[in-house]
């Protein structure tokens, strides 16, 4: 049976504990044994390298360099890494090794909570199969991302809240490989209530399953 570790913490505005509970239940339904913890010390534990999937649901916080380097090594060795919204994009922003392995950094969300459109760019990918373009209400994330990512869905900024973003098309969902490891990211899911959207949770569920160690 596959093992998933979900670590939550940091800024409470993203409702990390509630989201961790939802993700843990989701993965358990898909046959994972799950460990949900708010102990950031787990990043230095051998349990992480032995797991099949790591899901940080963390905004901010600090990751010591040796812990970050151990995580990078674990992902290179096959550990899956995945998350939604602030996870990966806002976790441990001062850690260069973590930024390197996550492949994404949040930089802005002009207009805060707004309505925007999500366009599916890879309808042939199993993660996005059967999912049409859809409307969404949340923070529209402006990201800096690794050029190696495989973009599965995008959004285009209209510039109403920041002229500098007008007509910029930005990834919303992507996946990538890092050594033997797989990384999945979805920018959707600012708070736990967004899991009620018919596609937000489905995309995350499929993406985490894809990312888990083979």
| DSSP string for 77-109 | TT-EEEEETHHHHTBTTT-HHHHHHH-EEEEE-
List pLDDT tens digits, range 31-47.
999 999 999 989 888 88
| Residue owning tokens 């990834």 | 171
Question: What pLDDT sits at residue 41?
Answer: 87
Domain with 126, as residue range(s), is: 3-211
Question: Is the overall model pTM greater than 0.85, yes or no?
Answer: yes
Residues 209 and 182 sit within 8 Å (Cβ to Cβ)? no
- Strand bridging mode 3-10 / 53-59: parallel
Q: Helices 16-29 and 200-211, interaxial angle, to 10°?
A: 70
- Strand bridging mode 33-37 / 3-10: parallel
Phi and psi of 113, rounded to 5°?
-85, 115
List pLDDT tens digits, range 176-195.
999 999 999 999 999 999 99
Exposed, middle or buried by CB within 10 Å (0-12, 13-18, 19+), for 129? exposed
| Residue owning tokens 């596609």 | 199
Question: What pLDDT sits at residue 9?
Answer: 96
Give the CATH number, domain containing residue 35: 3.40.50.880
Residues 29 and 205 sit within 8 Å (Cβ to Cβ)? no
Number of domains in the chain: 1
């Amino acid at each position: 049976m596959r093992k998933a570790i979900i670590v939550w913490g940091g800024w409470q505005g993203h409702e990390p504990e509630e989201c961790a509970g939802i993700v843990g239940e989701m993965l358990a339904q898909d046959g994972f044994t799950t460990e949900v913890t708010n102990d950031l010390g787990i990043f230095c534990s051998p349990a992480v390298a032995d797991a099949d999937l790591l899901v940080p649901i963390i905004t901010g916080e600090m990751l010591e360099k040796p812990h970050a380097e151990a995580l990078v090594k674990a992902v290179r060795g096959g550990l899956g890494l995945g998350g939604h919204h602030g996870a990966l994009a806002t976790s441990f922003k001062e850690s260069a090794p973590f930024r390197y392995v996550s492949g994404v950094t949040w930089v802005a969300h002009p207009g805060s909570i707004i309505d925007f459109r999500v366009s599916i760019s890879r309808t042939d990918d199993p993660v996005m199969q059967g999912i049409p373009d859809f409307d969404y209400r949340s923070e529209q994330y402006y990201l800096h991302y690794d050029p190696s990512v495989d973009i599965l869905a995008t959004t285009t900024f209209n510039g109403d809240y920041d002229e500098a973003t007008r007509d910029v098309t930005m990834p919303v969902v992507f996946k990538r490989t890092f050594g033997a490891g797989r990384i999945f990211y979805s920018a959707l899911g600012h708070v736990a209530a967004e899991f009620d959207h018919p596609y937000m949770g489905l995309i995350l569920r499929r993406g985490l399953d894809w990312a888990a160690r083979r």
